[in-house]
Amino acid sequence: MPNLTTRDGTRLRYKELGQGRPVILIHGWPLSADSWDPIMMKLADNGYRAIAYDRRGFGRSDHAPSGYDYDTFSDDLADVMKETGATENVALVGFSMGGGEIARYMSRHSGKGVTQAVLVSSVVPYMLKTDDNPDGVPQSTFDEMTEGMKTNFRHFFTGFFKDFYGDGVLRDKVYDEEKHWAWTTTMMASQYATLQSAAAFATTDFRPDLSSFNVPTLVIHGTKDETVPIDATGRQVAEKVPGARLIEYDGEPHAVFATQTERLGDDLLDFLGRN
């Protein structure tokens, strides 16, 4: 797989399929660009150039000693766009933590080159429960996650992926092999990067970034998402970003890229075709 080097010297692995209008897909925590493979193939088959990259510290990208904050993440995205030549009429699609890169890119880099944005099960605009964000996740939950990852990193993610993929929510469960892949992929990541990135998506307030969404925006979110609650995220974006379109996947958990792959691909193609 090809690699590129960011402005601070971090090597990022990326992949692409197809030709045509560029669609950049940003993966969630704690996975890799490979989570987008079925969607990339569908986009390529329908005339798009699909690009996905491993976030620093994850997948096959460098385990950088620093840069696990959204300013740096958005700079990495800008460098991916520049190095791949995907600089005009670009659609950005971010899953979970990846939605934060889009929000910060839209504000920090003025959305340069972007004409559409898609937030899938995204952490935007604010995950943490506060007095002015009552539907958020309590700090105690994030503290428990941090302690679990520090105490027994590998064991923690065995339990984490049960909620991630909706065990106990879906009648037709995700195959065990899918969860095994997710666990194995997570073990490729830097433990330091995993912890630092979790702190970033848990505490970064993207509400000031919302005013920078001046392009058509699609929000997709499962109503039974226990990892990133829809009331604090997807529904808030739909309410606060003018013209944003919200599609709720009734009864679906966080990992809709795996539980509703075909529907997600169809909804993306429908939205992209409106540009």
Mean pLDDT of 169-182: 82
pTM, two decimal places? 0.97
**Residue (of 119, 116, 127, 124) closest to 208 by Cα position:** 124
Both tokens of residue 178?
């899918």
State how far the Cα of 271 lies from the Cα of 166, in Å rounded to an integer.
26
The CB density around residue 152, as the number of other CB atoms within 10 Å, is 11
**Type of residue at 82:** K
Q: Name the band, by pLDDT with cuts 50, 70 and 90, for residue 168.
A: confident
Active site (annotated) includes residue 121: no
254 belongs to the catalytic site: yes
The HSE-up count of residue 187 (CA atoms within 13 Å, CB side) is 11
As a whole number, mean pLDDT of residues 199-214 equals: 98
Just give the CATH number of 3-272: 3.40.50.1820
Contacts with 269 (C-beta within 8 Å, 6 or more apart), sequence order:
42, 43, 46
Annotation marks residue 225 as catalytic: yes
Average pLDDT, the chain: 97
Q: Active site residue: 121, 122, 212, 254, which one?
A: 254
246-252 average pLDDT score: 97
Choice among 96, 121, 190, 212 that is catalytic: 96
Report whether pLDDT(39) > 80: yes
Which pLDDT tens digit goes with each residue over 179-194? 999 999 999 999 999 9
pLDDT at 77: 98
Interatomic CA distance for residues 28 and 254, integer angstroms? 10
Distance (Å, rounded) from C-alpha 5 to C-alpha 69? 18
For the chain, percent of residues with pLDDT exceeding 90? 96
Query: Which pLDDT belongs to residue 170?
Result: 54
**Above 70 in pLDDT, residue 95?**
yes
Q: Which one from 54, 75, 76, 225 is the annotated catalytic residue?
A: 225
Closest alpha carbon to 202 in 25, 68, 94: 68
Q: Are 15 and 21 in contact (CB under 8 A)?
A: no
Residues 217, 175: contact at Cβ < 8 Å? no
Phi, psi of 62 (to 5 degrees): -60, 145
Q: For 214-231, how does the pLDDT look when each residue is reduced to its tens digit (9 = 90+)?
A: 999 999 999 999 999 999
Burial of 236: CB neighbours in 10 Å, binned 0-12, 13-18, 19+: buried
